[in-house]
Amino acid sequence: MRPPRDYTCKDCRQEHDTYIVFDSVWAAAKLFPREFCCRGCLEKRIARPLAHGDYTFCPANFDTVEGFDTEENYRKLYAQGGLDYDKCRAEYLQRCANLGVKPRWSVSEPLTDY
């Protein structure tokens, strides 16, 4: 079993909400995969503000990234990434059911429809 993940920023040493960006953004910030850096410090490292295209399309971002807050936006963002929202959602809910964990899909649809 893995130890709990530490979400204390490597730079400012404060604890923050989780989010997931693409590997290329993390690499540009010269961070290793298991390191954590808050959004503000990450933006300083890459010398620009984070954009929607920097974030991956995953449930970890749905509650913490502005614009990932409605089903309509999810569908647009998934389409921009070349993904099928309904298929991804169904696969995610099935994985949660297989693992026996509660989904973190924060849209207006019920979370227990799997």
| DSSP for 20-71, written as a single string | -B-HHHHHHTT--TT----HHHHHHHHTS---GGGB-SSHHHHTTSTT-SSH
**Tokens (6 digits) for 51:** 């954009």
Which of these three, 56, 82, 103, is where a domain ends?
A: 56
The H or E element that residue 93 is part of is: helix 85-99
> Over the stretch 48-97, which tens digit does the pLDDT of each residue have?
998 877 887 676 776 677 766 566 766 776 777 677 777 777 777 787 78
pTM of the full predicted structure? 0.59
Domain termination residue (choose one: 11, 36, 56): 56
Instruction: Count up the domains in the chain and report the number.
Output: 2
SS3 state of residue 91: helix
